[in-house]
Chain A
Amino acid sequence: MGRWWVVALSEAVHGDKALAVTCEGEQLAVFRDGKGAVFALEDRCPHRRVPLSPGPVKAGGLQCPYHGWTFDGATGLCNDIPNLRRDERVPARYAVRAFPAAEANGFIHVWRGAGTPAAVLPGASYRAAGREQTGSAVANIAFEQYLDVMLDGPECLVSFPGVHITDFFLGDPRRDGEHLVLDRGAVWKCKGNGPAFVRDHSLWVRTRVPLRGGDIRVELLSADEEPLVTIFIAASENRRGTTSLVWRGFRHATAAPLSWRWRMARAIGRAPFAIFPHIDGAAVAALEVAPSRDRRLAKTDARTPAERVVPVQERCAV
């Protein structure tokens, strides 16, 4: 069964140019027609294998930059080979692979794999309520590792200015449908005697990581679990062990007690979070495999009850 992947920010695809993206290791060309509808084609011309994405978008679809064959966005069918006579027609089987594409809340999704595209888009779970900060990057870490590190050590992947994310996580990951959710303690920097001495953490960082697919949610919460920052990060396998990232996030309006730094940063319009495109290899390598173990097990174990990740006896086995 296939699934939806977020491949781009809505605002990154515009005009008569296509955007080259990589999803599940495969290169795609994403573009819009004159009416704004979005399409995704395999980024490989069936004529002489050249990438289509550098070509212009024409009325009939995306035009290959090499010889001008043009492909319909919805069907992938080749509808123009330049210089044909009027009585000549392009054979019906001349086509490039086309992928269903859809948009929600500022994310462009592509359906990959078998089956009818699911009605619910991953990006539908994100709703901005505040000024957004968005971005995209290719991170120097493999896709599955990115998801695992989001559980084992999210401080290697994201930061909130003025916030120290501790590695004290609460219990084991909770299963929430097709996701694992884990909270960990965080403290304001330069407040008190440092994270080791706090009796109770003043903040939480909650990561919600998929078993399959690439939709991640990271939240900074107050001690009362009131959201301060929400980030939706879409990850997908890029080439050579790298990971494509696309994100949107925002700072919530809140009455929760905040550090002076946080208020200052908000006042001068500083970004409320950062996503790292360059990941510290030494820091990642030093992480113990801890909650991500549950993710790997849950991925392979179809019998897992929805509310528990792994039956106890199985966890003791091996």
Chain B
Amino acid sequence: MSEVPMMDAAGREAEATSKRDWVPINLDLRDTWFPVAYSADIGERAVRRIVHAQDVYLWRDGGRLYAAEFRPDRLEAMRAGASAFTNGSGFYPAVERYGYIWTWYGNPDNAHEELIPNIPFLPPDGQGIPRYTQRAVRFDAASPLSVENLIDLTHADFLHANAIGDSQSENDVVEVHSTSETVTRIRNVTRKSVAPVMRWIGGVRAQYQDLRAVLHVHLRNNVCISYPNFTPGYPIPNVQPFVPVGKHRSRVDQTNYTVHAPAPFRWLMPRISYVIQPQDNSVLRPQNARYFESTERRDLSSRFDGPGNRYRLLMVRLAERQQRGDFGYGADADPSADISAVLGMRG
């Protein structure tokens, strides 16, 4: 056997990336909207959320939504210390869409609503999104490591073997597309054995099913939009926005939009994150600590890391661009453009 034919195009890209510094813990990308809370979670009592180690207090008063750097009772006293993130006003730009409150992280002058990512399967006004689809989970790692974990398909057979089932299939093809602001991973699996959870509570009686799973990742705000579609079966669209709390932690207010799936799957499926998340955390926690080490020993990769390494490369490029003071969105980037075709949604 000859050596290294494992390095196909994706493998070579992986190699190229891993020669660069990959420091996921220090990525602090600006000028983007973060979905910091479910709209339904915010009432008159102020709630504290954190974005890149920065406080965001959310509350409503007289039907109006407020997102501020300080608690409402201290706002007047503290306002003089307000940062450039609010232009010294103490208030962040905030918009409600898709059942979330989105706050702007960056220069408030650049906060345009068209930069909120399009989520085609959710009602824009957030009306009628059932609460059972919303689950908040926390990850013990910087957001980019969690995103890598989501992009990475090969760990499911090992880390999530009991929850997701075996990977037996006839054919399994992965492609990656990207823009300067997004990575899209498309996976096509034919004749895979039906996941146990779908068989037992999901009403899928067949033994095999096809899967087309699209994951669309927005780089700046780590908003991951997923559209896995099973035939026979149904799609289980979901949103996982990894809000960076700091260099060690991230928070995800998920929406697993199972409303079109049969009961009781519809209600139970969103809870699977409580099984998956601790499994992911068991590797993410030590992993994150080790990305603080000097990067003399770069990560090794296989061709299966193609999508993940593309993500690394694009993140580094974006960070470099921002370091040069360029916070604009490129011509190839339009977060609010309709992505239903990208996701492969029918009808």
Residues of A within 8 A of B (CB): 44, 46-51, 54, 63-68, 78, 81-84, 87-92, 94
Q: Is there a chain A Cβ closer than 8 Å to B338's Cβ?
A: no
Min CB–CB distance B255 → chain A (angstroms): 27
Contact of B155 with A by CB under 8 A: yes
| In the complex, residue of chain A having the shortest beta-carbon distance to the beta carbon of B301 | A47
Contact between chains at A92 and B154 (CB < 8 Å)? no
Complex alpha-carbon distance, A68 and B301, angstroms: 13
Of A81, A84, A88, A89, most buried by chain B (CB within 10 Å of CB) is A88
Is the C-beta of B64 less than 8 angstroms from some C-beta in chain A? Answer: no
Measured CB to CB, the nearest residue on chain B to A49 is B290
Minimum Cβ distance to chain A for residue B143 (Å): 16
Residue-wise interface mask of B (281-306) relative to A, using a CB-CB cutoff of 8 A (1 in contact, 0 not): 01100110011000001011110100
> Given the complex of chains A and B, what is the CA–CA distance between A53 and B283 in angstroms?
11
Check if A91 sits within 8 Å of B6, measured CB to CB: yes
B159 touches A (CB below 8 Å): yes
Q: Which of B158, B283, B297 contacts A46 (CB 8 A)?
A: B297
List the B side residues contacting A83 at CB < 8 Å: 154, 304
Contact of A54 among B3, B4, B282 (CB under 8 A): B282
- CB-defined A-B contacts under 8 Å, sample of 27: A46-B299, A47-B300, A47-B301, A48-B299, A49-B287, A50-B283, A50-B286, A50-B287, A63-B158, A65-B159, A65-B283, A66-B158, A66-B159, A66-B283, A67-B158, A68-B154, A68-B157, A68-B158, A81-B304, A82-B154, A82-B157, A84-B302, A87-B1, A87-B5, A89-B4, A89-B5, A90-B6
Which residues of B in the span 1-45 have a Cβ within 8 Å of any Cβ on A?
A: 1-7
Are A88 and B5 in contact (CB-based, < 8 A)? yes
Complex CA distance for A48 and B14, rounded to whole angstroms: 13
Known contacts: A65-B158, A66-B283, A91-B6. The answer to whether A81 contacts B302 by CB under 8 A is yes
A49 close to B291 (CB less than 8 A) = yes
Say yes or no: B290 contacts A44, CB within 8 Å: yes
Smallest CB-CB separation from B8: which chain A residue? A88
Kindly list chain A residues whose C-beta atoms are within 8 Å of the C-beta of B297. 46
Contacts of A64 in B (CB 8 A): 158
Using a Cβ–Cβ cut-off of 8 Å, how many residues does chain B contribute to the interface with A?
26
A67 to B157 alpha-carbon distance, docked (Å): 8
CB-nearest residue of chain B to A95: B300
* Contacting residues, chain A, for B158 (C-beta < 8 A): 63-68, 82
Chain A neighbourhood of B290, CB < 8 A: 44, 49
**Bound complex: CA A230 to CA B290 (Å):** 41
Nearest residue (CB) in A for B293 is: A49
Identity of the chain B residue whose Cβ is nearest the Cβ of A96 in the assembled complex: B300
- The minimal Cβ–Cβ distance linking B325 to chain A, given in whole angstroms, is 32
Shortest Cβ distance from A27 into chain B, in angstroms? 9
List chain B residues, Cβ under 8 A from A47: 299-302
Query: Do the beta carbons of A49 and B299 come within 8 Å of each other?
Result: yes
Q: Please list the 9 inter-chain residue pairs (A to B) with the smallest Cβ-Cβ separation, ordered nearest first.
A: A49-B290, A88-B6, A50-B283, A68-B158, A46-B300, A81-B302, A66-B283, A67-B154, A67-B155
From residue A21, how far is it (CB to closest CB) to chain B in Å?
Answer: 15
Which residues of chain B come closer than 8 Å to A44, judged between CB atoms? 290
| New contact pairs (15) apart from A50-B287, A67-B154, A83-B304, CB-CB < 8 Å | A46-B300, A48-B283, A48-B299, A49-B286, A65-B282, A66-B283, A67-B158, A81-B6, A82-B154, A82-B157, A83-B154, A84-B6, A87-B1, A87-B5, A89-B6
Chain B proximity of A46: nearest CB distance (Å): 5
How far apart are B141's CB and chain A's nearest CB, in angstroms?
Answer: 11
Please report the C-alpha to C-alpha distance between residue A47 and residue B4 in the assembled complex, in whole angstroms. 16
Residues on the B chain within 8 Å of A92, using CB? 3
Complex formed: what's the CA distance from A47 to B287 in Å? 11
Complex Cα spacing A94 to B5, Å: 14
A88: B residues at CB distance < 8 A: 5-6
With a CB–CB cut-off of 8 A, which chain B residues contact A51? 286
Interface centre among B154, B297, B302 (most CB of A within 10 A): B302
A153 CB to closest chain B CB, in angstroms?
35
**A92 CA to B283 CA in the complex, in Å?**
26
A50, A63, A65, A91: the one within 8 Å of B4 (CB): A91
Instruction: Name A48's contact: one of B2, B3, B7, B287 (CB within 8 Å).
Output: B287
A81 contacts which chain B residues (CB < 8 A)?
6, 302, 304
CA gap between A190 and B285 in the complex, in Å: 52
Q: Across the two chains, which residue of chain A brings its CB closest to B6?
A: A88
Q: Chain A residues near B302: list those with CB within 8 A.
A: 47, 81, 84
Complex formed: what's the CA distance from A66 to B148 in Å? 12
Q: Whose C-beta in chain B lies nearest to the C-beta of A54?
A: B282
Q: Which residues of A contact B301 (CB under 8 A)?
A: 47
| A-chain residues with CB within 8 Å of residue B157 when the two chains form the complex | 68, 82
* A residues in contact with B154, CB < 8 Å: 67-68, 82-83
CA distance A199 to B3 in the complex (A): 78
List, in ascending order, chain A residues with CB within 8 A of B299's CB. Answer: 46-49
Query: Which B residues are CB-close (under 8 A) to A66?
Result: 155, 158-159, 283
